[in-house]
A and B are shown apart, each in its own frame.
Chain A
Amino acid sequence: MIKNFLYETGRYLLFLRRVFSRPEKWRLSVRQFFVETEKLVINSIPLIALISVFIGAVLVIQTSNNMTSPFLPKMYIGYMTRESLILEFCSTMVCLILAGKIGSNISSELGTMRITEQIDAMEMMGINSANFLVLPKILATTILNPLLTLMSFIVGLLGGYLIIVLTGMIKVSDYLTGIQFAFNGYYITYSLIKTAVFSFIISSISAFYGYCATGGSLGVGRSATKAIVVASALILTFNLILTRIML
């Protein structure tokens, strides 16, 4: 078990070494970067926005239900919603969702290329396929997913706002005061760094399992499942580690 873990880790590190070598042709890799950005980041916007708006609304409802004490100002509903969003939802939860979405995309795409010998064909041409195919994916998600986190934060606050306007459960001005109350900019940094780390985990792990897929279409399915499970477990672990270090 431990031997197996060390073996896999070693293979993963060797894989990363091939990924992070100098691109053959910068121009082609940059073009690939934009292709991956659209596929992995831009296409995730609708899903993340949809989930965030609902979560924002639900957080407002739950918080207000739990704050029945007349001594607590209603403003705290906005404050608590904001803190929940920025500290945990917009980074960790969003990344767990992305692990499913882009993780399965990356690993099934690379897995299919592996079993249909497209990766072999690339190697035969003398191209470092790991570098050409994987590096743009890792860079696009690691650099740009933090923007998704920011968007999720804003849309989540908007969701809270909308539910208050629609139901009138508290005064809108209380909510607006609350979400500006005792604002700690460092939490944003913390959240963005977490997202960058988690995105690196998602893209590199799922690329690793896809790139090394064997055993036909069953193998592709297996690699996608394994990628999502391992990436999610690592996200939770690193969430703990980063939170311990940074907060």
Chain B
Amino acid sequence: MITVRHLSKYFDGRPAVKDISVEYMPGQCSLVIGASGSGKTVLLKSIVGLLEPEEGEVLFDTTVFNRLPAAEKKKIHCRMGMLFQGSALFDFATARENVRFPLDFFSQMSREEKADRVEFCLRRVGLENIGDKYPSELSGGMQKRVGIARAIALNPQYLFCDEPNSGLDPQTSVMIDRLIQEITAEYNITTVINTHDMNSVMEIGDKVVFIYKGEKCWEGSRDNILTSDNRNLEEFIFASRMARELKLRYGNGSPSQD
């Protein structure tokens, strides 16, 4: 479980994330949604320790993570997997070596076991055949998927994904969403996903947090998100014409009764 308490992060005196408190449960996909520039990435990076929040604390289970000394932080980092918004694959390594990288550092596996694990992870993201390619030779969506394979290589206890399916076609997006949902349930991972894709929200949003201009504006699940009466959230969800028409057709009730 991850607990965030009154977290604020400022850039040049201006808050990018303001007084956010939220809990992320194990075995659940928690989605953080919000417009571009609303502070999703900053919140995520403050949680994992890549940014130092000015105020508030982050607890992993019962440990106050953001005040730990570096050596202690490292131990918890080993149990995290993270997918960056820009994939952040290592340019100097092939796709296969990228996935193997954390294994080389932190697992006691034999060479064969590692190779098996790498193939397994690549297969799960649907990329068996590109193991020998370098990141610069892969499409953006493929890079994302290799990034996911790398994030799950060590069976993390906490999984963070920054926009896992931006830049992917709808079919692959759904595949990635399902994959994340499956492993979250299977290994009881605490998963946090930044997204602005409503499909993902309806597909896997066990818990949804809506951020508006750096502040938490709404919290709930996919079951009650469409019926919420929060104005900002409504504007965010029903921004597209199709969404508006669907909403008109089904009134303000739940549109998911097929």
Segment touching B, from A97-105, A112-120, A164-172, A194-202: A112-120
Judge if A25 is at the interface, Cβ distance under 8 Å.
yes
Known: A28-B104, A121-B82. A126 touches B75 (CB 8 A): yes
Contacts of A28 in B (CB 8 A): 104-105
Known: A125-B102, A126-B106. A117 touches B74 (CB 8 A): no
Q: Does A88 contact B (CB under 8 A)?
A: no
Q: Which A residues touch B106, using CB under 8 A?
A: 125-126
How many angstroms from the CA of A117 to the CA of B101 in the assembled complex?
Answer: 16
Q: Which chain B residues in 97-146 approach chain A with CB under 8 Å?
A: 101-102, 104-106
Chain A residue contacts of B239, Cβ below 8 A: none
B91 within 8 Å of A by Cβ? yes
User: With an 8 A cutoff between CB atoms, is B77 at the interface?
Assistant: yes
Question: Are A117 and B86 in touch, CB under 8 angstroms?
Answer: yes
- Expressed in whole angstroms, the Cα–Cα distance for A28 and B74 within the complex equals 19
B88 touches A25 (CB 8 A): no
Docked Cα-Cα span, A124 to B102, in Å, equals 10
- Is A24 at the interface (CB under 8 A from chain B)? yes
Answer whether A116 and B105 are a contact pair too, CB < 8 Å, given A125-B77, A125-B78, A126-B77.
Answer: no
Task: Assess whether A8 is interfacial by the CB under 8 Å rule.
Answer: no
Interface flag for A123 (CB, 8 Å): yes
- Tell whether, in the assembled complex, residue A127 and residue B105 are in contact, meaning their CB atoms are under 8 Å apart: yes
Query: Interface size (B, Cβ < 8 Å)?
Result: 19
| Residues 29-85 of B at the A interface (beta carbon under 8 Å) | 48, 50, 74-75, 77-78, 80, 82, 84
* Closest residue of B by beta carbon distance from A125: B102
* In the complex, chain B residues whose CB is within 8 Å of the CB of A122: 90
Q: Report the separation of the CA atoms of residues A168 and B232 in the bound assembly, to the nearest whole angstrom.
A: 88
Q: Are B84 and A125 in contact (CB under 8 A)?
A: no
> Do A124 and B90 have beta carbons less than 8 Å apart?
no
A123 touching B77 in the complex, CB below 8 Å, given contacts A24-B105, A25-B105: yes
Residues of B within 8 A of A125 (CB): 77-78, 101-102, 105-106
Size of the chain A interface, CB-CB below 8 angstroms:
16
- What's the Cα separation between A24 and B78 when bound, in Å? 13
Contact indicator per residue, chain A 121-151, by CB within 8 Å of chain B (1) or not (0): 1111111000000000000000000000000
Q: Are B78 and A117 in contact (CB under 8 A)?
A: no
Given A124-B48, A125-B102, A125-B106, A118-B91 contact (CB < 8 Å)? yes
Q: Which of chain A's residues have a CB closer than 8 A to the CB of B104? A: 25, 28
Smallest Cβ-Cβ distance to A113: which chain B residue = B91
Measured CB to CB, the nearest residue on chain B to A121 is B88
Given contacts A25-B105, A113-B91, A118-B91, contact A124 B82 (CB under 8 A): yes
- Measured between beta carbons, the chain A residues less than 8 angstroms from B86 are 116-117
Mind listing 19 A-B residue pairs with CB under 8 Å? A24-B105, A116-B88, A118-B88, A118-B89, A118-B91, A120-B84, A121-B82, A121-B88, A121-B89, A123-B50, A124-B77, A124-B80, A124-B82, A125-B77, A125-B101, A125-B106, A126-B74, A126-B105, A127-B105
Q: Which residues of A pack against B, CB within 8 Å?
A: 24-25, 28, 112-113, 116-118, 120-127
- Contacts A125-B77, A127-B105 known; 11 new A-B pairs at CB < 8 A: A25-B104, A28-B104, A112-B91, A118-B88, A120-B84, A120-B88, A121-B82, A121-B84, A121-B89, A124-B77, A125-B101
